[in-house]
């Protein structure tokens, strides 16, 4: 199984672990408990040992922006001109998509088995591509959403979840029927705080909304609020097996969604952590998107 890992460097220096039954009240943070002593590894997605990082290839691609991998480990990248590139697991080029008009790729998501999501935040437009980067549909969100969409994600059923930043509403949108399905107001959850929403993702029947200021809001697949995880300072998160993961302090941090345990993994010794902008993991490879390109390691 392949999971995306897209993470910031400005994450927490030391993460706290929410209580197993904790549900945070509106505008509150889930109660926390001290992390347990011995860290248990997730048997479904074990992290490599510090000496197990093996450099496979280095790709020169300055100013690469959004990136993703699909379930087979195929790599997708948006370059400095916002062209989309599709590469094999070993970094060999497959296909390229050049947009008809310029736009900033804010979200690139290839985890869905049927289509690839591209969200242009400056154009407020969603583009859906097939697995060969051929266009399937293009949706101008301004025609259907009365507000500014900050980020988006593609659900397994093909529906879109959109974060309407202007109205502080989490919206579900049907790209086939071109209509809004449901809305979840966020104002009561946020309270008096000043949110800074960065990332949105549906995973294992839950929706995770990353607020850099206060933590990660967790909703069920119907948009009902469940709790908030107290991991602040994040721009991106990813999931691997039953774990949520992020980059902080030169290490990968993994938090188990059900056992509520945490573990860390050092980065490759020959990799400058200060240059890493994003990390992607598949079953066999790790892709470190840096300011100069992509470093591919075999796990």
* Domain spans of the chain, in order of start: 17-298
Structure tokens at 267: 């980065």
pLDDT digits (tens, 9 = 90+) for 23-35: 444 444 444 333 3
Q: Is the pLDDT of residue 245 over 50?
A: yes
Contact 109, 123 (CB under 8 A): no
Residue 239's Cβ-count burial label (10 Å; 0-12, 13-18, 19+) is: buried
Rounded CA separation 55/65 (Å):
22
Q: In terms of residues, how long is the chain? A: 299
Looking only at the bridges linking them, the beta strands covering 84-87 and 75-78 are: antiparallel
Q: Is the pLDDT of residue 223 over 90?
A: yes
Edge-to-edge, what's the strand order for the sheet holding 262-266?
A: 238-240, 243-248, 251-256, 262-266
Overall average pLDDT of the 79-87 stretch: 90
Q: What is the pTM of this model?
A: 0.80
Residue 12 has φ and ψ, to the nearest 5°, of: -60, 145
Contact 85, 96 (CB under 8 A): yes
Contact 211, 171 (CB under 8 A): no
Closest CA to 262 of 81, 1, 33: 33
Instruction: Provide the CATH topology of domain 17-298.
Output: Neuraminidase (2.120.10)
Q: Is the pLDDT of residue 6 over 50?
A: no
pLDDT digits (tens, 9 = 90+) for 105-159: 999 999 988 899 999 999 999 999 999 999 999 999 999 999 999 999 999 999 9
Q: Quick check: helix, strand or coil at residue 247?
A: strand
**Residue 46: what pLDDT?**
53
Give the pLDDT band of residue 21 (cuts 50, 70, 90).
very low
pLDDT digits (tens, 9 = 90+) for 149-201: 999 999 999 999 999 999 999 999 999 999 999 999 999 998 888 999 999 99
Q: Bin 179: left if φ > 0, else alpha if -120 < ψ < 50, else beta.
A: beta
Q: Is the pLDDT of residue 48 over 60?
A: no
Closest CA to 233 of 16, 3, 4: 16
Rounded CA separation 27/258 (Å):
23
Looking only at the bridges linking them, the beta strands covering 116-120 and 125-129 are: antiparallel
């Amino acid at each position: 199984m392949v999971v995306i890992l897209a993470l910031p460097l400005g994450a927490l220096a030391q993460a706290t672990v929410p209580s197993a039954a904790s549900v945070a009240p509106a505008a509150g943070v889930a109660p926390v408990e001290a992390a347990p002593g011995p860290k248990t590894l997730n048997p479904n997605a074990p992290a490599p040992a510090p000496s197990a990082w093996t450099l496979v290839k280095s790709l020169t691609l300055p100013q690469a922006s959004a990136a993703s991998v699909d379930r087979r480990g195929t790599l997708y990248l948006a370059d400095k001109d916002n062209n989309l590139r599709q590469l094999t697991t070993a970094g060999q080029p497959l296909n390229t998509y050049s947009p008809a008009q310029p736009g900033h790729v804010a979200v690139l998501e290839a985890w869905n088995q049927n289509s690839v999501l591209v969200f242009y935040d400056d154009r407020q437009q969603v583009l859906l591509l097939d697995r060969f980067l051929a266009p399937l549909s293009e949706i101008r969100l301004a025609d259907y959403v009365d507000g500014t969409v900050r980020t988006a994600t593609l659900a397994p059923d093909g529906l879109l979840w959109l974060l309407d930043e202007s109205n502080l509403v989490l919206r579900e949108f049907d790209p086939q029927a071109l209509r809004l399905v449901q809305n979840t107001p966020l104002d009561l959850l946020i309270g008096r705080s000043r949110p800074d929403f960065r990332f949105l993702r549906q995973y294992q029947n839950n929706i995770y909304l990353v607020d850099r200021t206060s933590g990660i809001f967790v909703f069920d697949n119907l948009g009902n609020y469940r709790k908030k995880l107290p991991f602040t300072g994040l721009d991106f998160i990813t999931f691997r097996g039953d774990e949520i993961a992020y980059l902080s302090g030169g290490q990968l941090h993994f938090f188990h969604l059900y056992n509520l345990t945490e573990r860390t993994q050092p980065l490759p010794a020959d990799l400058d952590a200060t240059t890493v902008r994003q990390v992607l993991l598949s079953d066999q490879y790790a892709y470190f998107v840096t300011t100069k390109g992509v470093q591919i390691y075999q796990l």
